[in-house]
Amino acid sequence: MGPRLIGDETALWAAAARVLDANWTGAATVPSPGLYPHQWSWDSAFTGIGLAHHRPDRAETELLSLFRGQWATGLVPHIVFSSTEPRRAYFPGPELWLSAAQPAAPRGVDTSGLTQPPLQALTALHVVRATGGADRSFLTSLYPCLVAQHAYLARDRDIGGSGLVSLCHPWESGLDDSPAWDPPLTAVDPHGAAYAGGDHDRYVTLVAGMRAAGYRAEYLRDDHPFVIEDPLFNAVYLASTHALAELADLAGADPRPHREAAERIHDALLERLWDGSAGCFRARDLRTGRLIRETTVAGFAPLLDPELPDEIVRSLADLLLSAHFAGAAGYPVPTCDIQSEAFDRGAYWRGPTWVNTNWLLWAGARAHGLSTVADLLFGSTVRLVRQSGFREYFDPFDGSGRGSHDFSWSAALVLDLLAARRAP
């Protein structure tokens, strides 16, 4: 079942649905068979957006199952480990985080101690719209968990006191190896050895510091060496805060605190992360106080802000279409500025095109009426999966597939793209 589609879009729809069915475990969808055998928080949220069209009942189960891993602080961990997989099926496994030793962590389920972009409220809104709110108990169960998730971010993670959430690890960004993290990771090394992606030691050092401090907010605020305000994380946070206000209305709760929070995040994004001289958003390193120079795909995510001023929307569209990004790639959008020294067409999050970042930018472009950009992103994404399958990521020049096969969010988000173009 699905929307009425034109021509071979029907086959694409069926192929995407097959991937989601195959990756369904009964309670959640693994990101891909084999490589990623557990539940990841933003993967689940992206997957839920597609499941809302294909199997809304599963989308509900997927979200509720993710929140089994929520900590008493409200933290939604970025990995909820499956208890049936061998403990060494994925590194880093439960032994790195030792969540069972944390009083705030849930009992009976192992989790990580980091979070990821909080897309879940937005997914929940998609699901509620798809079902027409038929399952009242879904909203009643999930709404307080979403409120607690956002309260945690505002209370424990607004480290700069600006209204924005700070990342405390590159893995919290979702764009793990982004070249934007090279300078702050260079500073994490006691000898200042330059960082250029893929060095697990520094990732583990950062986790060890957090774990030793019981993942406490005071440690993150006062002593942790990696503290970054990121435009993509915060744009997702803002979009989900708006979604939370709508969910509050539907749940019979007060939407005003969420509307006020959204206003604060909007103001802070512009004040803290907009670089007017370069015409783009950048991440801010709170330990140096400076904006990080690297321009990445994350800088376009504030298009998700419905109140983004027109001149900024135009400036982002110009940069996106320029030879720094889409203008010089056959299969946009590359993760990083093609003209940057750090750009690498094949390296994880340092050049390739991903379906999830394309989808976020497509959603933002559509909402701002940027039809040229939205059509380009739609066309590029559909061509990529037609040509190379539902791969994890793609070469931005020739569109060849890389990383895992049958990757869940690549399939799920294509369902959402196709659904938006459904025939009348």
Q: Is 95 a residue of the active site?
A: no
Integer Cα distance of 179 and 348 in angstroms: 10
Q: Which of 392, 395, 406, 416 is catalytic?
A: 392
Contacts of 88 (CB under 8 A, 6+ apart): none
Provide, rounded to whole angstroms, the least separation between the CB of residue 86 and ligand GLC. Answer: 18
Shortest CA distance to 61 belongs to which of 74, 52, 70?
A: 52
Q: Which parts of this chain interact with ligand GLC (CB under 6 A)? A: 31, 36, 40, 42-43, 174, 176
- Closer CB to ligand GLC, 36 or 237, in the complex: 36
Least separation in angstroms between residue 174's CB and ligand GLC is 4
* Token output for 25: 């475990």
**How far is the C-alpha of 2 from the C-alpha of 55, rounded, in Å?**
9
- Alpha-carbon distance of 5 to 415, in angstroms, equals 11
Q: How far is the CB of 163 from ligand GLC (least distance, A)?
A: 24
Query: Of 176, 263, 267, 275, which residue is the catalytic one?
Result: 176
Closest CA to 168 of 99, 233, 220: 220
In the complex, what is the shortest distance from the CB of residue 121 to ligand GLC, in angstroms, rounded to a whole number?
A: 18
Q: How much is the CA Rg of the chain, to the nearest whole Å?
A: 20
Smallest separation, CB 130 to ligand GLC (Å):
23
Residue with smaller CB distance to ligand GLC, 173 or 241? 173
User: Within 13 A of 14's CA, how many CA atoms are on the CB side?
Assistant: 8
Q: How far is the CB of 393 from ligand GLC (least distance, A)?
A: 9
Nearer to ligand GLC, 59 or 313 (CB): 59
Q: Which is nearer to ligand GLC, 28 or 128 (CB)?
A: 28
Task: Write out the two tokens for 33.
Answer: 């068979």
Nearer CB in complex with ligand GLC: 139/297: 297
Compute CA 321 distance to the chain's CA centroid, rounded to the nearest angstrom: 22
Give the list of residues 6+ apart from residue 26 with CB closer than 8 angstroms, or none.
none
Is 255 or 403 the residue whose CB approaches ligand GLC more closely?
A: 403
Helix (H) or strand (E) holding 311: helix 310-321
Smallest separation (angstroms) from ligand GLC to the CB of 396: 17
- Residue nearest ligand GLC, Cβ-based: 31
The amino acid at residue 339 is: Q
Is there a catalytic annotation at residue 392?
Answer: yes
How many angstroms from the chain centroid is the CA of residue 110? 21
Q: What is the DSSP string of 247-285?
A: HHHHHTS--HHHHHHHHHHHHHIIIIIEETTTTEE--EE
Nearer to ligand GLC, 36 or 394 (CB): 36
3-state SS class at 39: strand
Angle, helices 56-66/120-131, rounded to nearest 10 degrees = 150
CA 365 – CA 131 distance, rounded (Å) = 26
For residue 336, the 8-state DSSP code is: B
Would you please indicate which residues are annotated as catalytic (active-site) residues?
Answer: 176, 392
